[in-house]
Structure 1
Amino acid sequence: SIRYQVIGVVEDFHIYSFYDEIRPTIFKMAEEKDYRYMVLQVKEGTQQSTYEYAQEQWASLFPEQPFEGGHQEDVFKFYFEELKGHTKLLNAVAMVAILLAGLGLYGLVSLNVAGRVREFSIRKALGAQLGNIVVNVTKQYIILILTALAIGAPVSYLAVEALMDLVYKYHMPMNFGGIFLSVFLLVIVLIFTMASQVGKVFRTNPVDGLRVE
């Protein structure tokens, strides 16, 4: 029963957070009795002085009402603080995942090496060098690790993308940079884990190793 005249159309933009889908919105001129805010566009570098001047003028005009002015960036500040919280949470989860992966790998390799002490001692007594020990300790894990990374990297990419799509209606496009960083960190953990066990085997006296039941 009410007719309006359209005087302009703007491109889609967010008036709420990125959690929500952009919805059709109509802006119309408010009646003077509904005026609640005054927006000031000021020159760069004069924000604070303008704010203080507006506060002084308000105090002189309406001394009984508190001044509720603020900067436009503060309107959505709470939202960006929430996003920072999400980032910290995801970083913590990632660090725990890397720690668990490293501990699991360390335990697996340690058990394997502990069960082959006599074998390595015999190899060393027969003249096995560091390279031979490295190959014997790592060869059975290399294929497993490469297979796990080959499967885990694309799966994790799809999982993170699905999580972002589930939480946010709009987000930055996914790329493989984070996946490559994760793979790099896991490879570093693998290298340090293998190096610690190889060093342990290499430093062990073959005589002591042959006495192990």
Structure 2
Amino acid sequence: MINEVFARTRGWIESLGQTIRFEDTVYTVVGVVEDFHYRDFEDPIMPALFRLGDESEFQYLTLRVNTGAGVESALALKNTWERLVPGTPFEYFFQNEVFEQFFQESGGITRVFTFVAIIALLISCLGLFGLASQNIASRLKEISIRKVLGASVPHITLMANRRFLLLLSIGAVVATPLSYLIMNTLLDDIYTYRMSIGPSSFIFAYVLVFITASLTIATQVYKLISTNPVEVLRNE
């Protein structure tokens, strides 16, 4: 038997009945199985040939057991094994444990990316907070005069945020193609089979950034709005 990759590699439209020479032996294809990962998930699925080997070549015995009966089945197999092959130790593992180990490793990569993203966001917020403080402090007199002349709170809020929203928008436009290329390159290096990066990922990221930036600037805007313009102009 062969897998689908093997058939595609040979260019066979109809695989049944085809012959294959392997180790000076000619085999006839009697079936084609669906592609599956028989190595690490990071590796591409390679052509595979399944044949009935000699007993000396056997390394693993694969069994399917009912859900929840793994321990009882392992104990029964151990007793049978020790009765049939008393001089050989009985060693076994569950396939789901192998999968869980792989997903734990993948989860570690995800946690690293998440940690780096959070640190980058915090550093950006600190810089944005300092920039907003400096900008509002330099325009405090101007904004106080506008308040005295009857400027509304929404108008002052928009005026204070407009510059930062413009900078964030420009940054988003510049960062989108760069981040798309970088993430695709990283994912291609790590995974052979993966999900594609769609617009929803960028939309979610930008919404999160804009909300975080707005909350960061809001602290300074609130301080600006609550300041008595008379006190500011008197000190001037």
Normalised by the shorter chain, which TM-score bucket? 0.7 to 0.9
Matched, 1:18 2:41: yes
How many pairs does the alignment contain? 213
- Provide, for residues 57-116 of structure 1, a one-character-per-residue CA deviation record: whole Å limited to 9, x for no partner: 334555554431121222333222110111111111121222222222222111101112
Residues 75 and 145 of structure 1: CA distance in aligned 2, closer, same or farther (over 3 Å): closer
Letter in 2 for 1:166: D
Q: Give the superposed CA RMSD.
A: 2.4
Residues 168 and 50 of structure 1: CA distance in aligned 2, closer, same or farther (over 3 Å): same
- Provide, for residues 103-133 of structure 1, a one-character-per-residue CA deviation record: whole Å limited to 9, x for no partner: 2222211110111222222223333331231
Letter in 2 for 1:208: E
Matched, 1:47 2:75: no
Letter in 1 for 2:136: V
How many angstroms apart in 2 are the aligned matches of 1:64 and 1:121? Answer: 91
How many angstroms apart in 1 are the aligned matches of 2:60 and 2:129? Answer: 62
**What residue number does 2:212 align with?**
189
Letter in 1 for 2:216: T
Letter in 2 for 1:58: W
Percent identity over paired residues: 36
Cα deviation, residue 17, structure 1: 1.9
Q: Structure 1 stretches of 5 or more lacking a match?
A: none
**What residue number does 2:24 align with?**
2
One of 195, 203, 211 as aligned partner of 1:180:
203
Cα deviation, residue 192, structure 1: 0.8
- Which structure: greater strand fraction? 2
Cα deviation, residue 164, structure 1: 0.8
**What residue number does 2:126 align with?**
103
| Structure having greater relative contact order (Cα 8 Å, sep ≥ 6) | 1
Secondary structure in 2 aligned to 1:4? strand
One of 229, 232, 235 as aligned partner of 1:206:
229
Matched, 1:119 2:146: no
